[in-house]
Amino acid sequence: MTPTPKSPLAAAQAALTADQTTNDPAIWIAKVPPETLLQHAQTLEAEGPKARPLWGLTVAIKDNIDTAGLPTTAACPDFAYTPTASAPAVQRLIDAGALILGKTNLDQFATGLVGVRSPYGAPKNIFDAGRVPGGSSSGSAIAVAAGIADLALGTDTAGSGRVPAAFGNIVGLKPTLGAISTTGVVPACRSLDTVSIFARTVDAALAAQRVLAAFDPTDPYSRHAPPGYLRRAALPAATRLAIADIDALCEPETARLYRRAAALFDTNTVDLAPFLAIARLLYDGPWVAERTAALRAIVTGRPSIMHPVTRAIVEGGLTRKTVDAFDAFHDLAKTRRLAETLFATHDALLVPTAPFCPTLAELDADPIGPNSRLGTFTNFVNLCDMAAIAVPAGFGADGLPVGVTVLGPAWSEGRLAAIADRIYRAFTPDLPPAAAPCPLAADETALFCIGAHMAGLPLNTQVTSLGGRFLRPAQTQPIYRLHALGNRPGMAQGGSAAIVGEVWALPTAAIGALLAQVPPPLGFGTVALEDGPCLGFLAESHALHSTEDISQYGGWRAWIAARDAKQGTSA
C-alpha cells in the first residue's frame, strides 16, 4: 500500500508548503525549481494514473544517485557533475509516476552514519536540534520525517538507510544486495552498496521496492531475484525471532524499548558476538580499502577537496595489506554460514537500529567514536548478505524515537514486512490500514502444511528457503486421522477428525524441490479443507497401522504441547 495523494498537483503543493514550514536548507543540495515541479505535477494530473503505481507521489533523491539535469555532488562541490541520464532506480520512479523534488544532503561520499560530514551543512534532527540526524542519508530521511516527501531514496552500505530512519521515526528498507541497480550511484563500497528506501509505512517502502527492483545487466553486482519475494506475507502466530542481550551496548531507553518490541513474539536469545566482530571489520579491515579504491583518483590526486574526517577515513585504505584482507574474507565466510544456521531456525533476527543518538557536542569532541558506535547493529548486515527493515519502536523518556531492525536472509523482504509492520503498529497510533497479504499468484501453488513445515517448527526453513510465504491458518473437513511418525505427523483419510494446519504459498516451480525433501510414506495430495480443496501433506494409509493415532489432539502443535507437558510431569 502506498500513500495516495489527492492529486499530483496537490501533492506537489503540499511538499512545497512542508519544505517552507520545515525551513531547513541543509536538507537539500539541489532542488527542482517550484515552477518546474508544478509543471510536472500538472502534466501528470492531465495524463491520469495510467496504472502507474507511484502516480503523484513526491520523492527525494540522495545526492550520490544520478538524476538527469540535477548535479550529482556526493556532498563534495569540487566532485560535482551534471548527468544527462538518470540512474535506473530514479528512472523507474519517474516511469511509475513519481514527482522528483530534488537531491538531498549526505555525509560526504556516503562515508558516515552521523549525517553531519558535509560542506552543505547538517540537516536538523526534527526531534532535537542538538542531536545528529543520522547518516549518511541524512537529507533523504529528514525529507520524509518532516512530511516533505512521501518517499526518498538513500543508499546503504553500513547502515546509512537505517540509522537516519530510526532518528527520524520512519521506516528504512535496506533491500537485498543486487536487488536494485546501483548503476548511476557514486560508489562507497561497491560490493556492499544498495539503494535504500525511506517511507512512513512498511507497505509504502515495500511498494516502492517493487517498482525499483529489476535485474540490470550493466551493474556487475545485480542479481536475478527469485519469483515473488516482494509479495507481502501474512504473519504466522508462531513467528519466532532471534534476539540478543544488548543491554551493555545500548542506552537504557534503547534497551528497554527493544525488549518491549521483542516481547511481541516468541523469542530465543542468540550470541551476536560473531556478527559484531565482523561489523568492526567494515571500518577496520579491507572494506576501508574498497572505499579508497572507489575514490582513488581523488584520494591520490585531489585530497584537499574532501571533508577532513572523510579524507582521514578514506586515506586509511592506502595502507591495508592484501594478506589481512584474505583473513577477513575467510572470517566473513564463517559468519555468513552462522547466519544461514540462525535463519534455519528463526524467522528473523531483531536488533536495535542504533544503540543511542549522539549529541552534536559529543561528535565535536570525538568525530570518529560516536559514528563507529552507531554502526554496532548495522555494519554486519550488508557483509552477511541480509535484508533489513528498520521501523520505529516508540519514544524513550527523553522524547527521542527509538528504532529496531528486522533482519532476514537475502530475498526475504516480503516475509520481513509482516514482522516489521507488527512492531511498528504496536507502538505507533493512527497509521493507515495495513496492506492485506498478497493473494495467491498465478505462478504460486497453495500448500497445506500440518507438521514440522509449519511456522516456527524445524522444517519450516525448507518452505521459506524456496520462496514460501504464509497465507493463513486452515483446517480440514472432519474426514481425516492423524498419526505420530516420530518427529513428524502423517495424515490420511478414513477418520472423523478435522486437522488444523497452515496454508503456505510456494512458487509452483519449487513444489518438486520441496517434495524431493519429503521422505516416504509422506507425500503430496489433494486435501479437503473447510473452504475447498488444496494441495497438502498426506501419508500412505498402510504405513500408519502400527503408529500412534493422535487424531484427538486435532493438530501437530497440540500434540507436541501435550507430549512435552507429559514429559515435563514425568521428569
Active site residues: 62, 136, 160
Single out the residue of 541, 542, 511 nearest to residue 449, CA to CA.
511
- Shortest CA distance to 507 belongs to which of 457, 454, 438? 438
Q: Please work out, in degrees rounded to the nearest 5, the angle formed at the alpha carbon of residue 129 by the alpha carbons of 123 and 131.
A: 85
CA–centroid distance for 417 within its chain: 8
Residue with cell 579504491: 293
Among the listed residues 521, 425, 416, the one whose alpha carbon sits nearest the alpha carbon of residue 469: 416
Q: How far apart are CA 55 and CA 200, in angstroms?
A: 17
Q: What is the DSSP string of 296-349?
A: HHHHHH-GGGS-HHHHHHHHGGGG--HHHHHHHHHHHHHHHHHHHHHHHH-SEE
- Give the whole-angstrom CA distance, residue 115 versus residue 122: 6
Which amino acid is located at 569 in the chain?
T
Is the link from the previous residue into 370 a cis peptide, with omega within 30 of 0? Answer: no
CB 140 within 8 A of CB 100: no
Q: What is the DSSP letter of 112?
A: -
Q: Do 93 and 149 touch, CB atoms closer than 8 A?
A: no
Helix H segments across 68-162? 88-95, 138-145
The three grid cell numbers given for residue 77, joined into one nine-digit string: 562541490
The alpha carbon of 362 is separated from its chain's Cα centroid by a whole number of angstroms, namely 29
Positive or negative, the CA dihedral 520, 525, 530, 531 is: positive
All three cell numbers of 225, joined, read 531475484
Q: Which residues contact 488 (CB under 8 A, 6 or more apart)?
A: 451, 452, 459, 522, 556
Distance CA 393, CA 370 (A): 22
**In the 3-class helix/strand/coil scheme, how is 429-481 assigned residue by residue?**
CCCCCCCCCCCCCCCEEEEEECCCCCCCCCCHHHHHCCCCEEEEEEEECCCEE
Is the Cβ–Cβ distance between 180 and 213 less than 8 Å?
Answer: yes
- For 251, residues 6+ apart whose C-beta sits below 8 A from its C-beta are 355, 356, 396
Phi and psi (nearest 5°) for 221? Answer: -100, 5
